[in-house]
Amino acid sequence: MDSPNFCLLKNRCHDDWQAYTQHRFLRELADGSLPKAAFQHYLQQDYLFLIHFARAYALAAYKSRTLADLRQAHEGLKAILDLELGLHVEYCAGWGISEAALEQTPEARPTTAYTRYVLDTGQRGDLLDLHVALAPCVIGYAEIADWINAQSFTVRGAANPYDAWIGMYESDEFQAAAQSERDWINARMERLPAPRIAQIAQIFREATRLETDFWAMNFEESAYS
Ligand SMILES: Cc1ncc(CO)c(N)n1
């Protein structure tokens, strides 16, 4: 039998993983039909999300016992601060959202739920619990970019207002960050006993479901703001 690895986490919550990675938000983003207000709401909330996500990698650094683990956490933090957040602020400006407006954005409840779930899971558990709680984010978005590119209805280039968003997550740098997270988790899952696998599978499923809510809230802005 193959040793347990990241794919097992996805398989254990197959339907939830599919609901997240093939969400209506992504289908509409892929063919360019997503309402602009939904995307702007997403961008503003994602700014708040990314700040907590960076804090979660800082927590991973704090919880590291080895230089290798510390470096892995540092890579994650750098990917968010230097790659995603820098681009995010620039990108929001292009969508008419200034940095000042981002800082003023009230946090929607699904943003609070997801980010605090990750931070709490990381504080209560060990480094593996924390990386598994983060996995739907970094690995999920890398797989989402691949999924979008594989769909026949996807429109790329100037005809799709969301083309640059797809470009960010298909980029070599982002894909490499996701691969390094997969490798780290795969190595930690080898030889894990079944009850421990069940625990982390539960964390993975919960984080995946919270990602789905993060897409869904953008269609129901008034319900959450
Ligand atoms: C909500 C969310 N999940 C994952 C990512 C990818 O880092 C992101 N930017 N936002």
pLDDT tens profile 3-13: 889 999 999 99
Q: How far is the CA of 3 from the centre of ligand 1 (A)?
A: 28
46 in ligand 1 pocket by Cβ < 6 Å?
yes
CA distance 65 to 71: 11
CATH number of the domain enclosing 191? 1.20.910.10
Q: Assess if residue 224 is contained within a domain.
A: no
141 in ligand 1 pocket by Cβ < 6 Å?
yes
Q: Assess if residue 212 is contained within a domain.
A: yes
pLDDT average, residue stretch 62-72 = 95
Split at pLDDT 50, 70, 90, the class of 87 is confident
Split at pLDDT 50, 70, 90, the class of 222 is low
DSSP classification of residue 64: -
- Domain of 177? 6-218
Enzyme catalytic residues: 137, 211
135 in ligand 1 pocket by Cβ < 6 Å?
no
Tell which one of 50, 162, 165, 218 to mutate to probe ligand 1, the residue whose CB is within 8 A of the most ligand atoms.
50
Q: Assess if residue 223 is contained within a domain.
A: no
Residue 114 CA, closest ligand 1 atom number: 1
Burial of 31 (0-12, 13-18, 19+ CB in 10 A): middle
Structure tokens at 117: 């779930």
The three-state secondary structure class of 156 is coil
pLDDT average, residue stretch 81-98 = 92
38 pLDDT above the threshold of 80: yes
pLDDT average, residue stretch 172-191 = 94
Q: Write out pLDDT tens, residues 123-164.
A: 999 999 999 999 999 999 999 999 999 999 999 999 999 999
pLDDT average, residue stretch 191-219 = 97
Structure tokens at 112: 């609070």
Q: Could you identify the residue written with the tokens 């309402």?
A: 35
110 pLDDT above the threshold of 70: yes
Angle at 130 between CA 124 and CA 134, to 5 degrees: 140
Question: Given this model, what pLDDT does residue 48 score?
Answer: 97
Q: How many domains, the chain?
A: 1
Q: How far is the CA of 124 from the centre of ligand 1 (A)?
A: 22
Give, to the nearest 10 degrees, the angle between helix 127-150 and helix 24-31. 40
Split at pLDDT 50, 70, 90, the class of 221 is low
Q: 161 and 94 in contact (C-beta within 8 Å)?
A: no
Question: Given this model, what pLDDT does residue 220 score?
Answer: 86
224 pLDDT above the threshold of 70: no
Positive/negative CA dihedral, 131, 137, 140, 146: negative
Question: Given this model, what pLDDT does residue 79 score?
Answer: 86
Tell which one of 20, 21, 26, 53 to mutate to probe ligand 1, the residue whose CB is within 8 A of the most ligand atoms.
53
223 pLDDT above the threshold of 80: no
High-pLDDT (> 90) share of the chain, %: 91
Q: How far is the CA of 5 from the centre of ligand 1 (A)?
A: 22
Give, to the nearest 10 degrees, the angle between helix 194-216 and helix 127-150. 50
56 pLDDT above the threshold of 70: yes
- Largest Cα separation within the chain, whole Å, is 54
CA distance 21 to 41: 19
Give, using CA atoms, the residue closest to atom 2 of ligand 1: 137
Regarding an ipTM greater than 0.85, the answer is yes
